[in-house]
Amino acid sequence: MRRLVIATRRSRLALWQAEHVKARLEAVHAGLAVDLAPMSTRGDELQDRRLGEAGGKGLFVKELEAAMAEGRADLAVHSMKDVPAELPPGFVLAAITAREDPRDALVSTKYARLEDLPEGSAVGTSSLRRAAQIAERHPRLEIRMLRGNVETRIAKLDRGEYDAIVLAAAGLMRLGLEARIRARLEVSESLPAAGQGALGIECLEARKEVASLLGPLSDPGSAACVLAERAVSRSLGGSCTLPLGAYAERSGARLRLRALIASPDGRRVLRAEAEGEDPERLGAQVAQALRGQGADEILKSLA
């Protein structure tokens, strides 16, 4: 193949990610030309509701998958935290790239730490996972829904609609907005979403020639960690309505996986961790440990 087309969302962050993959592919494969096919997704268009209320993470990827299925694109680039735990039949993640900083980041014009916000301060996030963990540690704060792309969210903060907002550090760094980060929330304070900080490259399972070109972009360590994290999510239902955090670290051949599931108000937070070498088995093991603490009760309350 001498030409590939990447399906991508139109947001500046999504375009940055697609351009990054384009540059990597053209550097690795001499003579390969890569074009972008930007498109709007349902997830980008819905700005007034949480994703879970509107149809879930798949809203960000369905149009891109349709473009691949119809032959208008050869691959799609995603933020791994936006990819549903189960891919549709016929699609595969051909590569998971080296991970950027997976942590959440506090952005504020006034305050350097969540601890510094006065009682009743408004903190913006669209993530139930972030909301639950903030509510657990800082019940005096008011958590408000915040949708939109990174620039839109920061603009709302700058207009004074929020006292602080919480975003993924990786997205801010990729957009050259690292200076807006007031604090990076440690993993012990805000466990990241499964796959946060990593990019995933999806293609049709039948397109072996495309998968072969994508293979060199995959980072084995990051991939193993992300697969373990996604296994927790899949074992617990994989819904983005679930306040679920999962984060794995690799040391040699072994993985350490931490995960949590919470009630949206943060009043009940279950945590589990384990170590192992097989990502899928480890994820299932940690999910089972959470079920042993009562995760099914939280799952049932969210149904």
Enumerate the domain spans of the chain.
3-99+197-218, 104-185, 219-303
Residue 216 CB neighbour total at 10 angstroms = 12
User: Which sign does the torsion angle of CA 234, 7, 178, 99 carry?
Assistant: positive
* Mean pLDDT rounded to a whole number for the chain: 93
Res 48: pLDDT: 52
Mean pLDDT of 11-21: 96
Res 60: pLDDT: 73
**Confidence check: pLDDT of 266 > 60:** yes
Tell me what percent of the chain is helix, strand and coil, each rounded to the nearest 5. 40, 25, 35
Res 179: pLDDT: 98
Mean pLDDT of 85-97: 96
**Confidence check: pLDDT of 248 > 50:** yes
The predicted-structure confidence for 160-202, as pLDDT tens digits, reads as follows 999 999 999 999 999 999 999 999 999 999 999 999 999 999 9
The predicted-structure confidence for 201-230, as pLDDT tens digits, reads as follows 999 999 999 999 999 999 999 999 999 999
Res 54: pLDDT: 44
> Hey, what amino acid is at 36?
L
At 224, is the secondary structure helix, strand, or coil?
A: helix
- Architecture of the structural domain at 3-99+197-218: 3-Layer(aba) Sandwich (3.40)
Lay out the sheet containing 122-124: strands in order across. Answer: 142-144, 122-124, 164-168, 104-107, 181-185
**Pick from 51, 227, 201, 234: nearest CA to 129:** 51
Res 240: pLDDT: 63
Assign a CATH topology to domain 219-303: Double Stranded RNA Binding Domain (3.30.160)
Block residue for tokens 């957009």: 175
- On whether the CB atoms of residues 262 and 270 are closer than 8 A, the answer is yes
Mean pLDDT of 4-11: 96
The torsion region of residue 294 among left (phi > 0), alpha (psi -120 to 50) and beta comes to left
Res 45: pLDDT: 52
At 134, is the secondary structure helix, strand, or coil?
A: helix
Instruction: List phi, psi (to 5°) of 200.
Output: -115, 140
The predicted-structure confidence for 274-296, as pLDDT tens digits, reads as follows 999 999 999 999 999 999 999 99
**Confidence check: pLDDT of 114 > 70:** yes
**Interacting residues of 195 by C-beta distance below 8 A, sequence separation 6+:** 79, 80, 81, 83, 96, 226, 229, 230
Can you tell me the distance from the alpha carbon of 128 to that of 227, in angstroms, rounded to the nearest whole number?
Answer: 21
Which superfamily, per CATH, for 104-185? Periplasmic binding protein-like II (3.40.190.10)
Res 201: pLDDT: 98
Can you tell me the distance from the alpha carbon of 257 to that of 262, in angstroms, rounded to the nearest whole number?
Answer: 17
Mean pLDDT of 86-111: 97
The predicted-structure confidence for 48-87, as pLDDT tens digits, reads as follows 555 554 444 556 789 999 999 999 999 999 999 989 999 9
Do 3-99+197-218 and 104-185 show the same overall fold? Answer: yes
**Confidence check: pLDDT of 126 > 50:** yes
Res 302: pLDDT: 85
Res 5: pLDDT: 98
Lay out the sheet containing 254-262: strands in order across. Answer: 244-251, 254-262, 269-276
Q: What pTM value is reported for the model? A: 0.91
Strands (E), the chain: 3-9, 33-39, 75-79, 91-96, 104-107, 122-124, 142-144, 164-168, 181-185, 199-204, 244-251, 254-262, 269-276
**Pick from 81, 174, 136: nearest CA to 268:** 136
Res 242: pLDDT: 83
Instruction: List phi, psi (to 5°) of 38.
Output: -70, 140
Residue 39 C-alpha from the chain's centroid:
20
Can you tell me the distance from the alpha carbon of 17 to that of 94, in angstroms, rounded to the nearest whole number?
Answer: 16
Active-site residues, by number, are 82
Q: What percent of the chain has pLDDT over 70?
A: 93
Q: How confident is the model at residue 1 (pLDDT cuts 50, 70, 90)?
A: confident
At 272, is the secondary structure helix, strand, or coil?
A: strand
Res 58: pLDDT: 59
